[in-house]
Structure 1
Amino acid sequence: MSQAKQTAEKVDYNGADNLAMMSHAINYNGGLFKWVSSDIRPGEAILDFGAGNGEYANRFPAGAVDAAEIDPELLPLIKQPVYTDISTLAKTYDLIYTINVLEHIEHHGEIVKELYKKLKPGGRIKVFVPARQEIFSNMDEHVGHYRRYDKKLVRQILEDAGLRVTDCRYYDFAGYFISLIYKWLGKDGRITKESVIFYDRVIFPVSRLFDKLTGGQVIGKNVIAEAVKS
């Protein structure tokens, strides 16, 4: 979601409007929350890094997760304990998840190393980022993306931080081709409520079927990965 605290510098991020539009993506958001929460055990300490408008953090019971976010306009929307600088956190976590955040951070490898330090031994990190640089478009520029990813790059930054990757695959098969068309058409980078709802209700369920058929090994609009601190 929105860009969170960085190690060395901040970058401007003006994607709050896109966050608001994406709140209408019921299937998309529900699927990602299911992925995030699927293996959580009672009493585990959890951090949502780059919580944005609280789309995922707010789905947990009050006080069940900590949220890291720096955008002052978004902070009031998060209904969990919020921190604007993770270096001030003395605690460590069983699970850190970050959804559509690393692409907003220039030195993404350094921030993953910082997250590694906040994990307990055996702790997990779950990462979700936009995929494939060839579909980088005006939308990416509009929301402040530095890059899009492939599986190799995601695996590299996780392993460079000292993490053992347990899963790394593409996500949203059809979304890749929709995004490619979007780029070819030269759209201005903004999305509408109507387009989000149509994609979420009609195209996305079919796209996830193709993800399952291909095992996420062919192509997708995003990369989804999990890793463990050994």
Structure 2
Amino acid sequence: MDHASLTTLESMNQALWYNRWTLNKFAAYLHGDILEVGCGIGNFTPALGRYGRVWAFDIDAHAVSQTKKRVKRDASVGLGDIERGSYFFKNKKFSTLVCLNVLEHVSNDKQALANMRQLLVPGGHLILLVPIHASLFGTIDNSIGHFRRYKPQALITEVKHQGFQILSQRKLNLFGAIGWYITGKLLKRTSVNNSYIRLFNLFSPILLPLEDIIAPPFGTSLLLIARRRKRTKQSEAS
């Protein structure tokens, strides 16, 4: 794992209030056998264990090692590649897939979505969090390996095409979008550092709850909750 990505993940692990707030947005869909796709260093993995039996994988061996230290024996963690469809487990289907800030790192994201569908039981849920708005794409995105920031409607269309029904969609973190623009576009920083997170933590408990009252028209991220259809639009048998 490169230095910028590791620094950003370690900094985001300190954004405790934001992480809890984000988790609460999809906690109702966490149940049964849960798979975290691209667990990174395990910022969310331990919390997922409160809702069901957890499996988690990442493409990076160092990330897997860090996650294993955090969860100990409370989750099954190993190497995996969602683009290639290669995982440390075999012939396993899940009730819920959680994919947080991962799809933007995958070159062939359409194939990754197709593989996610195959990992779900019919009717299973996909929790997808991705960065949005190309206008925010800056030096941080580039240095931590983002291929893209998504256009919300284009992603929704593709998720539907891959055999999912959209249950909910919402933009998140208007306040963070301002900070991301300043840090990555104006200041040309290459990672999210602890000083940014300290400032973010100071204002998050005040500003983020406002988004629960009035949905923002803009934000750093799009949260999609989708259900696997029994058949794709191409009438593929489930």
Q: Check whether TM > 0.5.
A: yes
Q: Which residue of 2 aligns with 1:72?
A: 61
Q: 5+ unaligned residues in a row in structure 2: which ranges?
A: 230-238
Letter of the 1:84 partner, please give it.
L
Matched with 1:221 is 220
Match in the other structure for 1:211? 211
For the pair 1:35 / 2:34, whether they are aligned, the reply is: no
* Residues 168, 225 of structure 2: 8 Å contact kept: yes
Pairing of 1:10-49 with structure 2 (within 5 A)? 15-41=5-31, 44-49=32-37
2:61 counterpart letter in structure 1: P
1:7 match: none
TM superposition shift of 1:24: 0.8
CA contact (8 A) 1:98 1:127 kept: yes
Q: Secondary structure at the match of 1:15?
A: helix
Q: Distance in 1 between matches of 2:58 and 2:4?
A: 14
Aligned pairs, number: 216
Superposed CA deviations along residues 73-116 of structure 1, whole A, max 9, x for unmatched, are 11112222123235443111110010010000111111011000
Q: Deviations over 1:116-157 (max 9, x none)?
A: 011101100000011111110100011100011132122022
The 5-angstrom pairing of residues 91-130 of structure 1 reads: 91-130=92-131
Residue 17 of structure 1 aligns to a residue whose secondary structure is helix
Give yes or no for the alignment of 1:54 onto 2:54.
no
Counterpart position of 2:161: 160
- Looking at secondary structure, tell me which structure has more strand per residue: 2
1:82-93 equivalences in 2 (<5 Å): 82-85=77-80, 86-88=85-87, 89-93=90-94
Farther off after superposition, 193-202 or 96-105: 193-202
Taking structure 2 as the reference length, the TM-score comes to 0.83
AA partner of residue 194 (structure 1):
S
Q: Distance in 1 between matches of 2:146 and 2:198?
A: 23
CA RMSD, Structure 1 to Structure 2 (Å):
2.2
Contact 1:13 1:144 in 2 (8 A): no
AA aligned to 2:64 is: L
Q: Distance in 2 between matches of 1:169 and 1:60?
A: 21
In the alignment, what sits opposite 2:232?
none
Instruction: Return the letter of the residue paired with 1:208.
Output: L
Counterpart of 1:141, as a letter, is N
Q: Distance in 1 between matches of 2:29 and 2:205?
A: 23
Q: Percent identity?
A: 21
> Contact 1:163/1:228 (CA < 8 Å) preserved in 2?
yes
* Offset, 1:14: 5.1
Provide the residue aligned with 1:132 in structure 2: 133
Letter in 1 for 2:37: F
2:128 & 2:29 partners in 1: Cα distance? Answer: 15
Q: Could you tell me how far apart the structure 2 residues matched to 1:208 and 1:87 are?
A: 37
Counterpart residue identity of residue 175, structure 2:
A
TM-score when scaled to structure 1? Answer: 0.85
The answer to whether the 8 A contact 1:168-1:223 is kept is: yes
- Mapped to 2, the partners of 1:163 and 1:223 lie a distance apart of 16
Equivalent in the alignment of 2:196: 195
Cα contact 2:4–2:191 (8 A) shared by 1 = no
